């Protein structure tokens, strides 16, 4: 018994995707549910694999099955391929199991030749249409099947147009296309040594073979590699009867969504053009009409179409994007697919569909792309506004803002306090600029990456920031910046969009973030579905409040360094750093203690009853000092002015800066290394945490402090510091006479921590993955350096599909995480494990965290809703897998 290699659309259905490809299976499904689909057949993926097995040859058997299917099609359509009177025309399209856009272009109008084109002209009574169709076919076939470069055809058209003294294709008459056709055929002969085939069956077999071959072209191979699609799936080929919307006033073509893709409103939305082809709608030559008007023009067709919409939505359980053609008063559905939509629409449609009983809550959760929701959670530029960016930097902190340009942080503070809206513009920011950032609506810097000071601080404050915008050249002296030929002076209004990195001159209309009722309803369903807890990264009581409002179940990362950088603390911190002896250092730390305690009290109070992970000081100390180059400049100035006392102080500072300077600060004296070399710093912080906890406990507030040691790579680092933390904590609790349960754990952010997690777990109550640093060390990429200079090239060269700092690298970083979870839980079965890197709010990364069995993710407050939804999606998609 021979295998069945060719299926009529009538024989397939949606479940046969692996045999018929995605497109073929969907066309068959539409036929099956009775939709008016132009008839055709699908050559299976197995035929493609057979083609390769046979040494790139279509077997006799498959050829005869194709011709058999063609005969049936001809019979059904009452037309024959290549008929001189009324030829059947078909399209030939690839159809892989997993969509691979651009693998092979479509061949339309197959079946035309020097004879049948006459039949088409006669039948349609439109010679120009017929010959235009024919030349389009030769052009597509020549390019896609016979591999003649596109430029050859364009050159032919240009030469004929020139000769005819016309400029537009639309001005070309039938005679002109005939000349083009003749030249096309010559060109194909010249380029390939072969005649353009006149036999329609030969055309068909060549087109099928071209689709088979396209499975292994370079483009497809790279695409599969990048998208991890197996190489042994093969592609199907769809052969479908052509229909034409440009056959007269009872013909037309259009595109419509079953619901409004912008607002989500449950009402068909789209447009159509009478007597036109799909290309004409796209080209915008005539203005299309709203789909509503179809009701007037062709009420029956309109009724038929809306019925189709309902049918397809019911069938596919999602809003559909439908292409249709009306040929001589008959409606054909050419394609349906799930429609693209705005975030707002996605939420509304999903929730509406649940209320309509169309889908389940779980289906609604799955249907909304979590990542897209980010746009709803920040003030943003009105998507309907026409704005033109003058420059693009890094999207360092999401949200949009407008304000007057200010270059000086002091000035920003004064103006901000006066209620003015300002944008602080700096080459880069330092801790000395914090008060300016606080007062500004947003920050724009010309240097620095996604983890530059400006970026980190702005994200912490939930303020928009565009960083590393190298196109702007700042002149502090003149108080202006230049971008291209435009000069922007202090006081001029600009807008920045920290979600896209855009910089815009002038004010632009903004849209406020919307947490609609539907959104809240969807999130409440998500909360029921998910098993991952969602916490937020928050360093201030204000952040903590926002986090709570967005549904955070704790704070997964409270960074204490931002507290050190506030303007009132920085001088004390600097004094601490400049100390020559431990005693001097302790003196400065003693001044910081009550301030830190106050910080923690504020946060603990907000998070009453929920856990708060406080990370002890992490960054290298020189981050709190001015940079060396600046100091050298200042020293030269002071030398000129002759202010010897200040000069001496600056020189001292420079000496210290140099002593602390490191070749690679990311890999230097930071994290737990600071704690081991200067235990007095950690002791102060632990005292502040516990004293705060005691004070609030007395007031009846439940505090659950989790003290986190950063950058551990060796178990003894944690063992030593745990002892110090415990001793300090117990002493405070004893002094205060209060009982507070506290936990001690560690960031897992170095490869060695993952590799030795079973040892580290011995001394840890919890693990929290710091995937920013773990990505840096696993890849050997400094984020600051790579994000601007290396990763864009890598993505352009397709070495990476995404920045691993945005979407977690499962293969490398992920396998270390998996190892750490397994080894950690092998030592301590109930070890609490979370993630607090920025991946904690990115849906694909959240899914991975769910898959490897983490307990929580923690992300910036504004991303909490995204994480809640993504966690629910992961739980639903991996339901059958045990944790």
Applying CB under 8 A, which residues contact its own copies? 628-629, 632-633, 636, 662-669, 673, 676-677, 711, 713-714, 716-717, 720, 749-752, 755-756, 773, 776-782, 784-786, 789-790, 793-794, 797-800, 809, 811-813, 815-816
Please answer whether residues 606 and 539 qualify as being in contact, where contact means their C-beta atoms are separated by less than 8 angstroms: no
CA distance 323 to 310: 15
Q: Which is nearer to its own copies, 189 or 793 (CB)?
A: 793
Nearest by Cα to 774 from 671, 644, 693: 671
Residue 714 appears among annotated catalytic residues: no
Mapped onto helix, strand or coil, the DSSP state of residue 323 is strand
Please give the Cα distance from 227 to 225 (Å, whole number). 5
Is 453 annotated in the active site?
A: yes
Task: Return the number of the residue (781 or 856) whose C-beta is nearest its own copies.
Answer: 781
DSSP at 196 = P
C-alpha to C-alpha distance for 605 and 698, rounded to whole angstroms: 12
Are 27 and 9 in contact by the 8 Å Cβ rule? The answer is yes
Nearer CB in complex with its own copies: 749/838: 749
389 membership: H or E segment, kind and range: strand 389-392
What does the DSSP 8-state code read for residue 475? E
CB-nearer residue toward its own copies: 424 or 750: 750
CB of 486 to its own copies, least distance (A): 22
Q: Are strands 856-859 and 533-537 parallel, antiparallel or unpaired?
A: parallel
The CB-of-446 to its own copies minimum distance in angstroms stands at: 12
Q: Which stretches of 198-317 are assigned E, i.e. beta strand?
A: 235-241, 252-257, 269-274, 289-290
- Asked whether 438 and 509 are in contact (CB, 8 A), the reply is no
**Element containing residue 119 per DSSP (H, E):** helix 116-124
Pairing of strands 330-338, 320-327: antiparallel
Q: Which C-beta is closer to its own copies: that of 693 or that of 760?
A: 760
Residue carrying the six token digits 């896609």: 144
Compute, in degrees rounded to 10, the torsion defined by CA atoms 63, 66, 68, 69: 180
Residue 512: strand, helix, or coil: coil
Residues near 271 by beta carbon (within 8 Å), at least 6 away in sequence: 254, 255, 256, 281, 288, 289, 290, 291
Q: Which of 378, 453, 763, 839 is catalytic?
A: 453
Q: In whole angstroms, what is the distance from residue 332 CA to residue 277 CA?
A: 13
Catalytic residue among 48, 754, 836, 849, which? 836
CA distance 593 to 699: 21
Task: Output the smallest distance, CB 438 to its own copies, in A.
Answer: 25
Q: What angle in degrees, to the nearest 10, is found between the helix axes of 582-606 and 541-549?
A: 30
In the complex, the smallest distance separating the C-beta of residue 482 from its own copies, rounded to whole angstroms, is 16
Kindly tell me which of 398 and 713 has the beta carbon lying closer to its own copies. 713
| 493-497, strands of its sheet edge to edge | 389-392, 502-505, 493-497, 400-406, 422-426, 442-445, 465-467, 394-397
Phi (first) and psi of residue 156, to 5 degrees: -60, -50
Cα gap 293→94, rounded to integer Å: 35
Cβ closest to its own copies, residue 524 vs residue 801: 801
Supply the DSSP string of 566-578, one letter for each residue. Answer: STTTHHHHHHHHH
- Asked if 236 contacts 20 with a C-beta cutoff of 8 angstroms, the reply is yes
Are 425 and 483 within 8 A, CB to CB? no
Nearer to its own copies by Cβ, of 553 and 759: the residue is 759
Residues facing 380 on adjacent strands: 511
Q: What length is written for the chain? A: 883
Which one, 489 or 793, has the nearer CB to its own copies? 793
Nearer to its own copies, 383 or 792 (CB): 792
Task: Give the shortest CB-854-to-its own copies separation in angstroms.
Answer: 19
DSSP string across 494-519: EEEETTTTEEEES---EE-----HHH
Secondary structure element (H or E) that encloses residue 557, with its range: strand 555-559
Nearer to its own copies (CB atom), residue 248 or residue 751: 751
The catalytic residue positions are: 453, 836
């Amino acid at each position: 018994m021979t295998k069945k290699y060719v299926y009529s659309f009538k024989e397939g259905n949606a479940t046969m995707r692996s045999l018929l490809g995605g497109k073929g299976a969907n066309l068959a499904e539409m036929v099956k549910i009775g939709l008016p689909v132009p008839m055709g057949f699908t050559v299976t993926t197995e035929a493609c694999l057979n083609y390769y097995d046979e040494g790139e040859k279509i077997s006799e058997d498959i050829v005869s099955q194709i011709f058999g299917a063609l005969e049936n099609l001809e019979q059904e359509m009452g037309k024959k391929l290549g008929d001189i009177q009324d030829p059947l025309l078909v399209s030939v399209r690839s159809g892989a199991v997993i969509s691979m856009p651009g693998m092979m272009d479509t061949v339309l109008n197959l079946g035309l030749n020097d004879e049948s084109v006459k039949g088409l002209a006669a039948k349609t009574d439109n010679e120009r249409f017929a010959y235009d169709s024919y030349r389009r076919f030769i052009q597509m076939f020549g390019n896609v099947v016979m591999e003649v470069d596109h430029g050859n055809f364009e050159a032919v058209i240009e030469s004929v147009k020139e000769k005819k003294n016309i400029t537009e294709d639309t001005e070309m008459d039938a005679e002109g296309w005939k000349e083009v056709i003749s030249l096309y055929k010559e060109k194909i002969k010249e380029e390939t040594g072969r005649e353009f085939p006149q036999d329609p069956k030969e055309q068909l077999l060549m087109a099928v073979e071209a689709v088979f071959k396209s499975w292994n072209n370079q483009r497809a191979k790279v695409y599969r590699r990048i998208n991890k699609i197996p190489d042994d799936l093969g592609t199907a080929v769809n052969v479908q009867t052509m229909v034409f919307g440009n056959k007269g006033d009872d013909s037309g073509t259009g595109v419509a969504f079953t619901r409004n893709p912008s607002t989500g409103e449950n009402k068909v939305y789209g447009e159509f053009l009478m007597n036109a082809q799909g290309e004409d709608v796209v080209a915008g030559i005539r203005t299309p009409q709203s789909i509503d008007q179809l009701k007037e023009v062709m009420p029956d067709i309109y009724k038929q179409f809306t019925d189709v919409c309902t049918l397809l939505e019911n069938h596919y359980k999602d809003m559909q994007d439908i292409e249709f053609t009306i040929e001589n008063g008959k409606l054909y559905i050419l394609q349906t697919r799930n429609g693209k939509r705005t975030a707002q629409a996605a939420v509304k449609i999903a929730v509406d569909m649940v209320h309509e009983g169309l889908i389940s809550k779980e289906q609604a959760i799955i249907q909304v792309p979590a990542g897209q929701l980010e746009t709803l959670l920040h003030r943003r530029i009105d998507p309907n506004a026409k704005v033109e960016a003058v420059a693009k930097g890094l999207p360092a902190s999401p949200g949009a803002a407008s304000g007057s340009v200010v270059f000086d942080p002091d000035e920003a503070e004064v103006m901000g306090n006066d209620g003015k809206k300002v944008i602080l513009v700096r080459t880069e920011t330092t801790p000395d600029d914090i008060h300016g950032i606080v007062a500004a609506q947003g920050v724009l810097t010309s240097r620095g990456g996604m983890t530059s000071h400006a970026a980190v601080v702005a994200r912490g404050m939930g303020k928009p920031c565009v960083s590393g915008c190298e196109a702007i050249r700042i002149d502090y002296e003149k108080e202006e910046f230049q971008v291209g030929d435009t000069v922007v002076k202090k006081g001029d209004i600009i807008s920045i969009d920290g979600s896209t990195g855009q910089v815009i001159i002038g004010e632009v209309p903004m849209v406020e973030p919307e947490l609609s009722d539907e959104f809240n309803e969807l999130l409440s369903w998500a909360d029921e579905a998910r098993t991952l807890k969602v916490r937020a990264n928050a360093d201030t009581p204000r952040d903590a409040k926002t986090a709570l409002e967005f549904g955070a179940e704790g704070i997964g990362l409270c960074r204490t360094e931002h507290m050190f950088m506030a303007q009132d603390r920085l001088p004390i911190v600097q004094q601490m750093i400049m100390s020559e002896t431990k005693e001097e250092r302790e003196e400065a730390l003693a001044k910081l203690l009550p301030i830190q305690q106050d910080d923690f009290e504020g946060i603990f109070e907000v998070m009453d009853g929920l856990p708060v992970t406080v990370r002890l000081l992490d960054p290298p100390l020189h981050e709190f000092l001015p940079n060396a180059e600046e100091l050298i400049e200042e020293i030269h100035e002071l030398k000129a002015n002759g202010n010897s006392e200040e000069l001496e102080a600056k020189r001292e500072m420079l000496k210290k800066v140099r002593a602390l300077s490191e070749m690679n600060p990311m890999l230097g004296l930071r994290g737990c290394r600071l704690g081991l070399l200067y235990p007095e710093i950690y002791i102060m912080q632990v005292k502040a945490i516990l004293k705060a906890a005691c004070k609030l406990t007395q007031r009846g507030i439940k505090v659950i402090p989790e003290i986190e040691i950063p950058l551990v790579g060796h178990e003894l680092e944690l063992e030593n510091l745990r002892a110090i933390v415990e001793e300090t904590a117990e002493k405070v609790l004893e002094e205060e006479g209060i009982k507070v349960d506290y936990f001690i754990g560690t960031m897992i952010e170095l490869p060695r921590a993952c590799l030795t997690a079973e040892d580290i777990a011995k001394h840890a109550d919890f693990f929290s993955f710091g995937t920013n640093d773990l990505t840096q060390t696993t890849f050997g990429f400094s984020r600051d350096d790579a994000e601007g200079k290396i990763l864009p090239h890598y993505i352009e060269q397709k070495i990476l599909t995404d920045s691993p700092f945005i979407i977690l690298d499962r293969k490398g970083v992920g396998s270390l995480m998996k190892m750490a979870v397994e080894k950690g839980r092998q030592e301590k079965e109930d070890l609490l494990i979370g993630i607090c890197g920025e991946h904690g709010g990115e849906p694909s990364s959240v899914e991975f965290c769910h898959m490897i069995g983490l307990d929580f993710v923690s992300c910036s407050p504004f991303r909490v809703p995204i994480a809640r939804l993504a966690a629910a999606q992961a739980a639903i998609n991996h339901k059958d897998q045990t944790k």
